[in-house]
Amino acid sequence: MAPTAATIEAYDRDAPSSEATETATFALGCFWGPDAQFGALDGVVRTRVGYAGGTKTDPTYHDLGDHTEAFQVDYDPETRSFAELLDLVFRSHDPNQQTRKTQYQNIVFIASADQRETLTDYLDANGYTADGIATRIEQFSRFYPAEDYHQKYNLRNKRSIMNSFEDAGYDDEAIRESPAAAKLNGHVVGHEISDDHDLGIASNRSVHST
């Protein structure tokens, strides 16, 4: 069952504002998959995909330069911690291996002293060191949003749901930044959405990824 335009608008209206969330940036190979995976999590409010980690100005998918496909999550720190996001990142790839192709490398971007401290604590607790793993640990500098057709890629291929966003008058930027779109993008590829999220979709189970 697809959500209505009114359901989507109500969900987004009630979601935590940008001022109430914090942002984390990661890279885990092709960005479509983690965009959906992390968007389904309780406490993750918004997601977007893009390019980061390089020096080229204004990269594009077909002219990426030395950037990597990355994704951002805006999360509610009252519900989902940065440490929990890190744990899922490290469980989603092998930190002892790294692909040679820069476009698809694994990277943890650090945007603040608090994030660096949390990462250091996580690595210590799990027997890792920043210099001893293949995963890149980098200071966050800039994130370039990817082209519209990459944003909520899986959701865009679900016409029955996209019709509701169009009926609600959402443009491409609004879909990219929509909390409802983040959840539904995960839902359409099979990630479980908590029953607490009333989006008019059939769901009898809660998200197991923590």
Q: Minimal CA–CA distance to 1: which of 202, 199, 204, 205?
A: 202
> Is 145 in a helix, a strand, or coil?
strand
**56 touches 65 (CB < 8 A):** yes
Active site residue 30: yes
Active-site residue among 10, 30, 111, 130?
30
Active-site residues, by number, are 30
